Every structure is written in C-alpha cells, then in structure tokens.
A and B are shown apart, each in its own frame.
Chain A
Amino acid sequence: MTELITLKFKLNGVGRAVAVEPQTMLADLLREQLGQTDVRVSCDQGVCGVCTVLVDGTPTTACLTPAFLVADREVTTVKGLSGNATGLTDVQQAFIACSAFQCGYCTPGMVLSATALLAEDPSPDRQAIRDWLDANICRCTGYQTIIEAIELVAAQRRTRSLAAAAEAEAAD
C-alpha cells in the first residue's frame, strides 16, 4: 500500500484536510474524493482546459496537477467564485447575457479562465483574449460569444471604476 500524503488546503474558502496517494491528481481529489462535481474532466491530458481551477488565482489544469501540490494553497472552483451561495460574478452574468455557452461542459473552466485573464489584464484586446482562451476548448460556440462576454465584463468594470473615480473626485 502506498503511503498517503496528508495535506491541508483551502477549497472555495473553506479549510480542508485530506489524505491522498502521491499519484492522485487534483481533479480526482476534488471530484471523486471531495464531491466537487463542478470540476469536470474531459481529455484528462491537459489539452482541453475543461478541468481548469484557480490555484492561488492562477488557472491550473486539475487533471495534470498532482493533488499534493496544492498543500497550503487556495483552490477556487467555479462554485467558489462569488464567495456567497446565491450570487454570480460579473463574469458569470456576462456569460449568461452573451449566451456564451451551449452544452455547458467546458463552461466552469472557461469562466475560471476568463476570470483569471481579467484579473491579470483588466482591458485585454481581442487578440489577447483569443490567445488566452487557447487553453480552453469549446466545441459548441465558436468562441465569439465567449470573447464578447469577456469584453463586456472589461467594459463594465471600466465604466464602474470611472464612475467611482468621478464620485471620489466629486467628494473631494
């Protein structure tokens, strides 16, 4: 019997302590062991991006990441995005507004990937979005609605921050 590795990490803001085999992949830990079914697996080879989760905010292919690597780190799945049980983030709302999904199988990974992109680059141009999304395959949409959803969020955030700046100025 292989010796189990015990590790602690945060999953969607909640501390978890688990024991895994050294070869257990993060996707299997989350999905099979912890019942986090919003982490879906498709190619299982690190090609399609469906199983993308955020590890300390960085998009990570859960099917190819050994589970022990997330020790003492923070893992976010799509269900952990909003931070509360009922709300959706602006990225998720934009995916709805733009019909940026069809079968929905790639959507959790796509939403997380888009979230990470906007955290890194608040105003990505179309080329930057395309390049970033190359990590996630969607066989249904043709990607354009996804790109538009990301552009919509970027524009909304710009408008909001401009409004906030104007308000701050007015308050001065």
Chain B
Amino acid sequence: MPDSQRQNLKLNDRARQDALDKVSGEGPFAGDITLPGMLEARLLRSPHAHARIVAIDTTRAEAVEGVHLIATGRDLGLLKRTTYGNWVHDQPVICTDRVRFEGDVVAAVVAVDEVTAFRAMELIHVSYQLLPPVMDIREARSDRAPEIFDRKHPNIPMKLGRNTRTANEPAKNVLFSYDFEDGDIDAVEARAAHVFTDRFHFSRIGHFYMEPWICIAQQLTDRIELWSCNQDPFVLRQDLSEMFGLPEGHFRVRTAYIGGGFGGKSYCKHEPLAVLLAMLANAPVRLLMTLDESMLTLSQHDGDLVLTTSVDAEGRLLSRRTEIDLNGGAYADASAQVGARAAYRSSGPYRWQAYHAHSRVIRTTTIPAGSYRGMGGTQASFASESQIDMIARRIGMDPVAFRRLNLIPPGEPFKVGDSNVDADFAEGLDRVVSDLQHTAVPPGGPFASGKGFAIGLKDGGSFGRLGKATVKVTTDGRVLVLCGAIEIGQGATTVISGLVADVLKVPREWVRYAAIDTDVTPFDQGTHASCATTLTGNAVWRAAQKLRAEILDLAAGELDCDAADLDLHEWKVTGAGHRLDLEQLVRKKFGRFGFELSADGFVQYPKEPDAPFGARHLYWMPHWVGVSLRVDTETGEILVHDLVTGVDAGHTLHGGGVRGQDEGGSLVALAQTLFEEITYDEEDALAVPTPLDYRVARASDLPDRYRSFILEQGMGPGPMGAKGVGEAGMLGVAAAVANAIHDATGVRMTDLPFTPQKVLAALDAARETNGD
C-alpha cells in the first residue's frame, strides 16, 4: 500500500501496524508470491501408521505430461544430513525405508501445476509391508510394542541447570527424559497431614492455523532463496546450512506475513525438501500444503500426568511429585523442550518445600508433536490447577482461599535460582472472583450449576535469549525498524513500531516495519515463547534511544550547545533558544543526497548454571480464569454461562493486541476443553483427517457471556515493565471448567475433552456409587 494512502487514513493509536495490509487483503502472505517459471510440488504421504517401504514405482507418474520430477528417499544425495528435528535429528526429509505415521512423506512430485502434480501422484505405486502400529504412549512402553526406531540418532544433549538431568533416547520408544529434584521430598511428605495422588489425561489438538503450510524455494546461480511461512528464519537457515553442508549465507530466507502458527510453524519442517526439489528441478518450486496436510505436520502433545501433593494441617502446600508422559508422536520436532517445560511448570504459582518432576516424551506412530502455544504449560496448568481444587475440597477449604494461602508473592523466586515472580497472582485471582457472574439454577431440574477458578501459568522462556534491532531514519524523516520478530498475528510489528515512534516522538504512521530477510534483518533466535515484546522490544527500545541521542548530539554539535538542553519532536530539534529541522541538518552535514542515520540495539539474557533451566526465566505469564456453567445432567452437555479471563501485560503496549491474544487463546482452550481433539479410530486411522471432520471453535461456540481483562502490574522485563501474553490464553481454561463441573455436580473430570458422553458416563458412575 502506498505511503500516501497510509497517511490519508490517519491511523489512530488503536490501529495495528498491519491493519491496512490485512483489512484490504493486500498481504502479502507467502502464498501470494509467484516467481517466474514456478513449479508446483505436492507430497505423497503414507496411508499407514507404520510400515516398511518395500518398493516405489514412479515410472507411470513420471510419464505424465507436465511432470518435472518425482523425488523419493533414493534422491537425497545432495543432503549431508537427511534428517531434522530439535535436539534429536530423527525426521527424514523423505522416508527412505519405513513410514512411522499416517501422513509421513513418501514422495514428492514437481509439476507444472497442481492438477498435474495430483494426477501424477495417483500413478505412483508404493508397496508397503505393514508393521504393528503404536498408537498411544502406554502401548509404546509395553513389552510387545515394536521399536519405532532401530537406532539412536545424531543429537544435541539438552544441558540445563541446577538439580536437573536430561537424556535423549534413553530407552525403548522414549525420545527424551527430564528429571528435576529440588528438596528432600521424602522428609517433607513424612511430616505432611495429607498426601494426595491424582491422575489426569490431557488431550491433543491441532494447530489449525488458517494459512496452510507453504515454502517457495528457488535455485539462483550461486545460492538458494526461500519464501517461507516459518517463524524462525535464522534457525531455519542454520538447519539448511547443516543439512546441505553449505554456508548459512548460501541461503536467503524471506518471510511475509504469516497466517497464524500457534507453534506449528516454528523450527525446521519441510523446507529442506522444498530446497532439495528446487535444486533438482533447477527452477522455483512452491511446496504448498492443503489444510489437511498442515494438520499432519505437527500437533500438540497429549499425555498422562500424575501429581502427588502433600499439604499440612493448616492447608499449606508442602511438596509435589510430578510424573508426566507425553505423546511425542513419530518424530522429535521440539518435543524435548515441551517435556522439560511441562514437568518444571507443573508446580504452578505456589510455594513448595520440595518439588520433584519427571517427564518422558514417548514415541508413537502418530502425528509428530512439537511446539504448541503454551509449550507444556497447558498440560501442566490443567493437571496442577485441577488438583489444587480437588485438595482444597478434600481438606474442607474454599478453593480460592486455599490458592491465596499458597501463592508465591511478587518478588520471590519462582524456585531457588530462578527469576523472581513478576506478577501479583492474588490480584488477578481476586479480579476473576469478583467479575464472574454466577447464578445458581434452582434445584429440581436437569441442570446443575457451578463455578470454578484457575490460575494457569507459564514462563516467558529462558535458554539465554537475545534480541537485536536496527532503527534507521531516512533523510525525509521516515523510520525503518529492522528486527527479526515475525508478524504471525500476535501484533509484534504494532508493538515494536509503536515503541520506536514513542521514543523518537514521531507519529506511528511514520514508522515502517522492514520486511524480514535473513540477508539484512538483524539476527534473531526465533519468534518464540511470547518474547517479541520483551526480547526484541528491549533491543528496539535501546536502538531507538541510541538513535535519538545521536541525533541530539549531532544537533548539539551544529548548534554548539549541550545535547541535554535539546528536545526532539517530529524531527524538530528545540531548546537552548534554538530550532532546527533534522532534514536541513542532515543535508548540511552529509550533502544534498542526505543520509540515513541509524543505531543498533542489543539485549542478551545470560546463562546461569544455578538456575534450574540454565538461565533465569525471562518473566512469568499468568492466566486467570473464572467459569460459571451449567451441566445438563440428563445429556452430559456443558453450557458455559459466563467466562472471565485475564492476563498481566505488565504495561500494555497495544490493548487490542493483548486482549486478542487472551481471548483468541482462551477460545481455543475452551474448544479443547469441550470438544476439539485429534483422535484415531479403531483401525488406527486418523478419525479427523480433514477440516470437515475436525471441529474447531466457531463464533457460536462463544459462551453466553465472555469478558477478558488486562492487568498492568508493571513488573515485566520489557520496555516500561511490559511482558508477553501470547500463550497465556491456553493455560487456565480447562482446569477452571473441570473445577466448575465439580462444583456443580461433585463429579471430577480428569480426562480432556469433557464431551457430553464422558460427562454423562462420569455422572452415571457417580449415581451408581451413590446408589441412586
């Protein structure tokens, strides 16, 4: 959209930076980009959960007019490393001898257009020898289960911090294990008044981002160019470099707007395959998936969580043991991080005298699981906040009072060696309790009503993260901000451009967020863990302040006065009796073609071996939830009457953005709580293979009433006390609903989702026990 048009629209502070590009349909998204001579690549996928590839016959398919090439596992010669994955490199670019889930990539067709590619694909004949599928984590650990891999893989050991051990591929069908042991838990349990053990099952959902997965790759004379929907362009560049044995600079990764990701577009996916096909075809190749296929690319982790929690006679939490098994699916992806984080985060926002957590990621022959908004915190919060409620009721305490008694206050470390809690958990809890509107239904009818609360929690990541940014101003006073935070919908460009405008005191529409291109964008570790506001935000903040100082210094030199006496507003330097226009100043100093003044900003959070994760967590991200609902005791249906959710933004940089992150995440979480789920049928086939079968939340799934709130507790590490909120919405909803169902019916739901069938079965079981 032309600059003049942007100005004409007079964007107010509430308008997002990307508003015009999005409401006008302009984009671009990667799929809007067409390269001259671009070919279409489509993937042939395994129809079986587990099988040996006996033979692949591509002869007939290759004869189809318009087919350029068909690549199979035999065509990986250009790759130095043919597998990828985070920590453990186990996922093949194309399967060579074996398929490990329904959807595993068996061949790729490159053709002049999509129709030809699909036609050719139907003519590829693959002979499979079926192997026993391993569909869930309990089965995978049983003696009769086959090994999903025959050998260990090249891997990078995950080195964390104090009291922590990790292992890659430690046992049969175990991808990863994590152990954290803090305190003498046996001694603490021995003096407890009560010890409770409870089991929970967390379900699995798909990312279901609306922009299907895409990558366009092209071989230029001496390098490779990509248009990608990946939220980690620099991480991807590094993977490509290692896998092809070519320098990182050989690859130029460009990122347009990304149409949602929720974790599903992080880390390396099928980009190496797109690059390989472009190299083989010596032409631009677009690998574009359908939404069905995008669902096969990655999922969330389902899992079993067992919590053993001790409490004293006064209702003080003493210790917790957490045992978690997560379903990692067929390949590693980012499962190791999720496993470690789910375990560490299962202590919730509470003080403990001892906390032990063990988790394993188990392989199955199902969709690979990996990063999903919440990153283990969702699983942890569901189990932890359910059990807290259960314990309160068992010891005769009000669940809210029980929580208040045990919360970590702001300023106290989350755990020994970790960062201080930078949120007031009690304030948000009080807020949901006071905001929730709960009307009990009169007894006698089929409905039972109840209310429930929860405080979901996750951290804002660790691993010694960094941020880097450049801010430059053209001769005519327009600003370009360069940094690697990807606009995936979360509003990164709005927050970051707004910060620059505020520091430089220019209107927001003068600031443009530069396109992402690994050739020119400052290095970035990936748009992860709700960290754009804090990490990139701080780098940008510093860069803008440095630039402002440099401009004032320049003016002070010209005016022969002290820079401290000068002010800068819309590029007018004033003070000490002077008034100077930046453009005049620049032309005078640098000549008639002017100059681009610029400054860099950098921020790095150090590694600390004494911290349990090897670095202190950047910040703490609570999700306060209150739910009022009715249970139809005749049908098992849950009717959410009122939903209240809240987050701590620290300091709000864009209210609409913060609200949208909370509400959007919360509705996905509510769908997961009530109905959304990836399942396999009795024949081990995907039961929800297409968007037609897979139910996600629509507008009419909104509760009767839903209000969200933003607290600004001001303790975040970002500019002016800001912090990230992007994943919060996933965290607290499921437990709050479970707690409300318990409040209504006395029945405890521990197995997500709470479908009418499951609720009714639980109600029936309770009625039977009670002798009704």
Q: Which residues of A contact B (CB under 8 A)?
A: 35, 37-45, 47-48, 50, 77-79, 86, 88, 92, 95-99, 101-108, 111, 129-131, 133-134, 136-147
Q: Are B656 and A99 in contact (CB under 8 A)?
A: yes
Mark contacts of B9-21 with chain A using CB atoms, 8 A cut-off: 1 yes-contact digit, 0 otherwise. Answer: 1011011101111
Which of A107, A129, A133 has the most chain B CB atoms inside 10 A of its CB? A107
From B259, B698, B706, A144 is in contact (CB under 8 Å) with: B706
From A47, A88, A103, A141, B259 is in contact (CB under 8 Å) with: A103
Which of A129, A137, A144, A145 has the most chain B CB atoms inside 10 A of its CB? A144
Which residues of B lie under 8 Å from residue A99 when comparing CB positions?
14, 16, 654, 656-657, 659-660
Q: Are B29 and A42 in contact (CB under 8 A)?
A: no
**Given A98-B656, A131-B700, are A47 and B14 also a contact pair (CB < 8 Å)?**
no
Q: Are B656 and A138 in contact (CB under 8 A)?
A: no
From A40, A43, A78, A137, B698 is in contact (CB under 8 Å) with: A137
Which of B14, B211, B654 has the most chain A CB atoms inside 10 A of its CB? B211
From B70-78, B359-367, B409-417, B486-494, give the one contacting chain A.
Answer: B486-494
Which of A97, A102, A134 has the most chain B CB atoms inside 10 A of its CB? A102
Which residues of A lie under 8 Å from residue B667 when comparing CB positions?
142-143
**Given A47-B691, A88-B9, A140-B660, are A103 and B209 also a contact pair (CB < 8 Å)?**
yes
Which residues of A lie under 8 Å from residue B657 when comparing CB positions?
99, 102
Q: Are A95 and B32 in contact (CB under 8 A)?
A: no
Mark contacts of B642-664 with chain A using CB atoms, 8 A cut-off: 1 yes-contact digit, 0 otherwise. Answer: 00000000000010110111011
Considering the chains assembled together, what is the distance between the CA atoms of A134 and B666 in angstroms? 18
Considering the chains assembled together, what is the distance between the CA atoms of A104 and B21 in angstroms? 8
Nearest-CB residue, chain A, relative to B702: A143
Nearest-CB residue, chain B, relative to A107: B22
Within 8 A of A (CB), among B625-678: 654, 656-657, 659-661, 663-668
Shortest Cβ distance from residue A68 to the other chain B in the assembled complex, whole angstroms: 17
Which of B9, B29, B661, B699 has the most chain A CB atoms inside 10 A of its CB? B699
Q: Are B259 and A105 in contact (CB under 8 A)?
A: yes
Task: Report if B31 contacts A (CB, 8 A).
Answer: yes
Shortest Cβ distance from residue A109 to the other chain B in the assembled complex, whole angstroms: 9
Nearest-CB residue, chain A, relative to B690: A45
Q: Are A103 and B656 in contact (CB under 8 A)?
A: no
Please, could you name 29 A-B residue pairs with CB atoms under 8 Å apart, sorted by A?
Answer: A41-B31, A41-B212, A42-B212, A44-B291, A77-B25, A79-B26, A88-B20, A92-B23, A96-B11, A97-B14, A98-B656, A99-B16, A101-B23, A102-B491, A102-B657, A103-B259, A104-B18, A104-B27, A105-B29, A105-B260, A107-B23, A139-B208, A140-B489, A141-B660, A142-B660, A142-B663, A142-B665, A143-B667, A143-B702
Shortest Cβ distance from residue A120 to the other chain B in the assembled complex, whole angstroms: 17
SS of B interface (majority)? loop
Q: Are A103 and B23 in contact (CB under 8 A)?
A: no
Which residues of B lie under 8 Å from residue A144 when comparing CB positions?
663, 702, 706
Which residues of A lie under 8 Å from residue B490 when comparing CB positions?
102
Considering the chains assembled together, what is the distance between the CA atoms of A129 and B699 in angstroms? 8
Q: Are B698 and A102 in contact (CB under 8 A)?
A: no
Which residues of A lie under 8 Å from residue B668 when comparing CB positions?
139, 142
Shortest Cβ distance from residue B509 to the other chain A in the assembled complex, whole angstroms: 13
Which residues of A lie under 8 Å from residue B656 when comparing CB positions?
98-99, 145
Which residues of B lie under 8 Å from residue A141 when comparing CB positions?
660, 663-664
Q: Are B257 and A104 in contact (CB under 8 A)?
A: yes
> What are the nearest 7 A-B pairs in CB distance?
A38-B25, A99-B656, A103-B489, A104-B22, A105-B259, A142-B663, A102-B489
Q: Are B210 and A106 in contact (CB under 8 A)?
A: yes
Considering the chains assembled together, what is the distance between the CA atoms of A121 and B5 in angstroms? 31
Shortest Cβ distance from residue A102 to the other chain B in the assembled complex, whole angstroms: 4
Task: Report if B290 contacts A (CB, 8 A).
Answer: yes
Which residues of A lie under 8 Å from residue B34 when comparing CB positions?
35
